[in-house]
Amino acid sequence: MDLEASMRKSVEATQRTFNTIRTGRANPSLLDKIVVEYYGADTPLKSLATISTPDSQTISIQPFDSGSINRIEKAIGISDLGLTPNNDGKVIRINIPPLTEDRRKDFCKLAAKYAEEGKVALRNIRRDGIDRIKKLEKDGEFSEDQSRDEQDKIQKLTDRFITELEKHLADKEADILKV
């Protein structure tokens, strides 16, 4: 049982989710969750186009198939990002407007929600690990002292990853609030 690897993956997944939250700057990872209906299949945007940031306030999307430009534009328009795409027939450009104070606070709340979901995932991994230890103790493979020591190790591991997650949250909040 490799609890540490599972917890690391959980923290990394939460970090990837943080990347989809807008800050005041253009970032291609904002579009990671965008899915486009392409020939009857939901396809991730990054599989359909080259995404770049020519400057700090603009995201440029160059579709591989120019016939998909309207579908891509529609998918971005209906997403919850609140961005308005513009296209010139070949390239879609998205201007990233500066965030208002209220919008920044909303994004901080969203980041806190994602962090809490990450903590719940870590606690679930901890619970599963402790349940396995208790089962081993019940089956006679661990003594009571060994079981308690293993449970303490699992708790310390969980605490370490929760602290790491809180640090990532603080960094993201600072990034969002930076004007």
Facing residues of 55 across strands?
58
The reported pLDDT for the residue numbered 179 is 67
Contact 154, 124 (CB under 8 A): no
The reported pLDDT for the residue numbered 170 is 95
Q: Which domains does the chain have, with CATH numbers?
A: 3-17+100-177 (1.10.132.20), 25-95 (3.30.1360.40)
The DSSP H or E segment spanning 71 is: helix 69-78
Lookup: tokens for 178: 């930076």
Secondary structure letter of residue 80 according to DSSP: T
**What's the whole-number average pLDDT of the chain?**
89
Q: State the pTM of this model.
A: 0.74
Contact 59, 53 (CB under 8 A): yes
pLDDT 10s digits, 29-49: 888 888 998 888 889 988 999
pLDDT 10s digits, 46-84: 899 999 999 888 999 999 988 888 899 888 888 877 788
Q: For a pLDDT cut of 70, what percent of the chain falls above it?
A: 99
Contact 69, 63 (CB under 8 A): yes
The reported pLDDT for the residue numbered 1 is 54
The reported pLDDT for the residue numbered 83 is 80
Rg (CA), the chain: 22
